[in-house]
Amino acid sequence: MFRTIVKYTVFGIGVLFSFLLVGLLLYLTFENAQRGTAIYGTRGSDAIHVTGPFSILVNLGIVGLVASFLAYILYVHTRKEVFAKVYFFAPFGSVLLVLIGFVLAGA
């Protein structure tokens, strides 16, 4: 019984920490989207910086990666096959969006 409580407590803390990081990533992504920019890296360093309409593709790709993570959490919790498929295939589209955005912007 005690091991089960510890197991769920550790899992819950890990999920909470993951959701905090994902929330921060979404906040920064939407902040960049409002400015019409996309930054891959940290500001003030050798980051890839995209502005204009192509930043929309990069930001959508980042949101797609977050959606893939959420689908993975849902799959672990429910074991439904549809979440496994989203978790598996969503990163491919997301990476394509990011790469297309970078290439078309000339970054």
Is residue 17 one of the residues assigned to a domain?
Answer: no
2 domain-assigned: no
Q: Model pTM?
A: 0.83
Nearest to 105 by CA among 9, 36, 34: 36
The Cα–Cα gap between 20 and 87 comes to 19
In a domain, 1, yes or no: no
Q: Is residue 37 part of a domain?
A: yes
**What is the DSSP code (8-state) at residue 49?**
E
**Distance in angstroms (rounded) separating the CA atoms of residues 38 and 10:** 34
Residue 4 included in any domain: no
Residue 14 lies in a domain: no
Cβ atoms of 57 and 104 within 8 Å: the answer is: yes
- Left if phi > 0, otherwise alpha if psi is -120 to 50, otherwise beta: which for 84? alpha
Nearest to 26 by CA among 57, 66, 82, 77: 66
Cβ proximity of 65 and 26 under 8 Å:
no
| Cβ atoms < 10 Å from Cβ of 62 | 23
Q: Could you give the number of structural domains in the chain?
A: 1
In a domain, 8, yes or no: no
pLDDT tens across the length of the chain (107 residues): 788 888 889 888 988 999 999 999 999 999 999 999 988 777 667 788 899 899 999 999 999 999 999 999 899 889 999 999 999 999 999 999 999 999 999 86
Whether residue 92 lies inside any domain: the answer is: yes
Quote the strand ranges of 2-42, DSSP E: 37-40
Residues of the domain holding 80: 24-105
